[in-house]
Chain A
């Protein structure tokens, strides 16, 4: 019954590594998002896709690359991880511009 799911829930890795976070939604939504939430709880949008088309690409290092193989999936790949990438990453989905449904988050720790 999970609406928006993310894997993994926790990710601990070393600087310089490459990692991916996966997101899937079973709500039939046409828009998906990636957010980064820092330790002060600021929630910052990184990317959004509408019908597999990139809509928003905020000022994010190009080490971050989203991939949307279909409308139900939006994955986030991160190259050359840095200490400052440590945060909680949330995937979300919505039907067009309506309210967003968030996943449980992926806590990324870079050591």
Chain B
């Protein structure tokens, strides 16, 4: 079956350090991947996306890496701040209305 999973359910980092959140997916036919951030009491919010014809995409303080060979996706957050504390989800899209979310990683930033 298909699944999208994150390697670690929790991650704790020191403020100012870089964070890396990982995700493994199983459907090699997926062509579009998205990272979402969910703060406490709110709905998930789009952070960054990447298409399968790319290996890397950068945003503001965030970078997504895609390794199709091993079906692995990662989200790197530079200079992590307290406001980055949240649950992070990876998701794969397989067409309109069809997306699968990973289990989520809770990132805690220590001051």
Interface residues of A (CB under 8 A from B): 4, 30-31, 33, 35, 41-45, 48-50, 55-56, 90, 92, 94, 96-105
Contacts and interface: CB of A to CB of B under 8 A. Distances in A.
B32 A104 contact: no
A98 B94 CA distance: 10
Interface in B82-111: 87, 89, 91, 93-101, 103-104, 106
Contact of B87 (A41, A92, A105): A41
Judged by DSSP, the binding face of A is: strand
Contacts of A43: 44, 89, 101, 104
| Interface footprint category on B | 20 to 34
B17 to A, nearest CB: 23
Contacts of A45: 99-101
Nearest to B91: A100
B21 to A, nearest CB: 14
A99 B97 contact: no
A33 B97 contact: yes
Contact of B97 (A42, A56, A101): A56
A50 B93 CA distance: 14
Q: Kindly name the residue among A48, A49, A97, A102 whose own CB sees the greatest number of chain B CB atoms within 10 A.
A: A97
